[in-house]
Structure 1
């Protein structure tokens, strides 16, 4: 008796939809669901010949409805619709490592090798690699558990195994989070009256805005193992003002601050403060990064004053915790350097979404970022950890609760 493949496929498809409904409401996504979604997400012009059946528009409509659901679209995004042979190719694993929403720790052994290849991981000995693999597997489990909660609607952001996926939390904190307190020295450029902010108090501001929409899209940079976040935050805040007033990029040198601001209280790759970095920049000025490139370690201070490209005329820090003030200053003055608490492992492994970890307390300032946008729900921040961290190098932090202390030390710069 001939088999009606179309009828059979529609029956299987309806079973799949029923199964996926329960998958969407259950945080414990298993590998069977993973494979079913993979089959369902294939483009039928490529897959049908292999499956030996004609597929009507029901499959397309089902997929469209699923992709309109944010959390399921996150899950489906890892699949390449042109690959339908079911094989875990290097391309497939690469998408999982870089872009995929991991929801299970039961991954192929090739996942670790692909991870090492993508992030160019090298270990000094087999013992060191085994220790890194142990950390990676532990992080894999935590990422999968967290993302299951995301799919069930219990979390508003996702995690992944980025370049810090094999870093112990203590190494991450000690190597990267170097925003420190420095002795406050007199700086004539500091504006205690917040003149620029007060000048705009009665100006109408938009409900939401993003400086990237206005053309401010700086090159994504990586601080590596050097605790230079304070230098990146100040150089980017200043070059944002250069862009706002003159329309050119004029990428400025964080390495200059790392090498030259020791007399102001900073400690090179061992950390520094926004205030000390601004004091140095307002006194000496900053040259372009093309003349003084970033090296990821402290070096000898060398530059010529004739090469100075930008110098802060004034700067001010907004009242701690005042998110309304930050909103107004961001809209009217420009991107601002901010201090945050980046210590939770969820910050370390952040992938996407609106970050609101309750353990990201506002009283531990240890990292500096650049605030570039806002909506009524969240802030948008630029980081210095490359494009594979967060949302292409950016992060969204929930507004209204001073999550991670984002409103504690917002600092703007004037040319």
Structure 2
């Protein structure tokens, strides 16, 4: 009888210790990412989501350790979100708003491959100074705006030698007449069309980001760059995308980022078997390409801050049947 009581006490002590450990870990997460909730019920709900997400990450990384997948996952600032909350909040690319490819309005030109061109095996436009630091779109579906500015920043740099950070908020507030919906979504070609018609986009410092829809207040005197149109790269053609990235510079692309594996991506070459090549929901920027451990990849700049991925970047599978639609909707501005 004494043995049974002792075992029960040990089990109870271990259970309490585990609960205390979970709560301590949860407290550290909240402190690290400055998370605050309205009440204890919400706090408990979010802690349960956090623990569920942590378990999914653990199970995935076991596969990584066994060599069965090519990338790792890691807890980040999205850890307290249900997956559908994450998608609704962060993924704002809306292919149905694409006036240029669907209806022929605001139509861009098509990419022509240069004659007798040989491209290098590795490209990284960061090394040339053509890429601004990683930005953070916050809780606003404005990924399309960050993809747009990133591509134009690169083209403006190549033309002028000056790297100017451009205003995503300018696009969020002012490009609705061109088919975009601010924090509710948009796409890059529509934004390029707005910039051309507007004859400019303000600098980020003059029109800072707010992560919310606001009144348009474009100031021509603060314009940092403009474009004269845009080029669409042939759909789903990774080879032409490679040539464009190598010869032109950073390219705006749309991808399927609707999977938890993308939400918690940490490092390695991201290949998601469940990815669609047509159901695209997130705008990002290809700034290069290369090969890691025998796996070809696209070097992609995201807009979710430095704590996501590889300091804000992700290596996405290249030459894997257009995985996640990386080459399905690719374009860049003319300057």
Normalised TM-score (structure 1):
0.71
* Structure with the larger RCO, 1 or 2 (CA within 8 Å, 6+ apart): 2
Distance in 2 between residues matched to 1:183 and 1:390, nearest whole Å: 28
Query: Do 1:239 and 1:252's aligned partners in 2 also have CA atoms closer than 8 Å?
Result: yes
- Secondary structure, aligned partner of 2:31: helix
2:120 aligns with one of 206, 225, 241: 206
Change (3 A) 1:297 1:343: same
Matched, 1:164 2:78: yes
Taking the TM superposition and a 5 Å limit, the aligned residue runs for 1:342-381 are 342-376=257-291, 377-381=296-300
Q: CA deviation at 1:176?
A: 1.2
- What is the alpha-carbon root mean square deviation over aligned residues? 1.8
Distance in 2 between residues matched to 1:378 and 1:134, nearest whole Å: 35
2:149 corresponds in structure 1 to: 235
Q: Which runs of 5+ in 1 are unaligned?
A: 1-105
Query: Do 2:141 and 2:184's aligned partners in 1 also have CA atoms closer than 8 Å?
Result: yes
Matched, 1:384 2:303: yes
1:269 aligns with one of 183, 190, 198: 183
Query: Do 2:131 and 2:153's aligned partners in 1 also have CA atoms closer than 8 Å?
Result: no
- Secondary structure, aligned partner of 1:378: strand
Deviations 1:316-369 (A, max 9, x none): 111111000000000000000000000000000111110001012212110000
Taking the TM superposition and a 5 Å limit, the aligned residue runs for 1:115-154 are 115-154=29-68
Taking the TM superposition and a 5 Å limit, the aligned residue runs for 1:224-263 are 224-263=138-177
Change (3 A) 1:107 1:218: farther
2:333 corresponds in structure 1 to: 413
Choose 353-362 or 321-330, whichever is displaced more. Answer: 353-362
1:215 corresponds in structure 2 to: 129
Normalised TM-score (structure 2):
0.88
Distance in 2 between residues matched to 1:314 and 1:270, nearest whole Å: 24
Q: CA deviation at 1:151?
A: 1.1
Query: Do 1:189 and 1:313's aligned partners in 2 also have CA atoms closer than 8 Å?
Result: no
- Secondary structure, aligned partner of 1:306: helix
Matched, 1:192 2:192: no
Query: Do 2:201 and 2:218's aligned partners in 1 also have CA atoms closer than 8 Å?
Result: no
More strand by share: 2
Q: CA deviation at 1:271?
A: 0.6
1:96 corresponds in structure 2 to: none
- Secondary structure, aligned partner of 1:375: strand
Q: Which runs of 5+ in 2 are unaligned?
A: 1-19
Query: Do 2:73 and 2:267's aligned partners in 1 also have CA atoms closer than 8 Å?
Result: yes
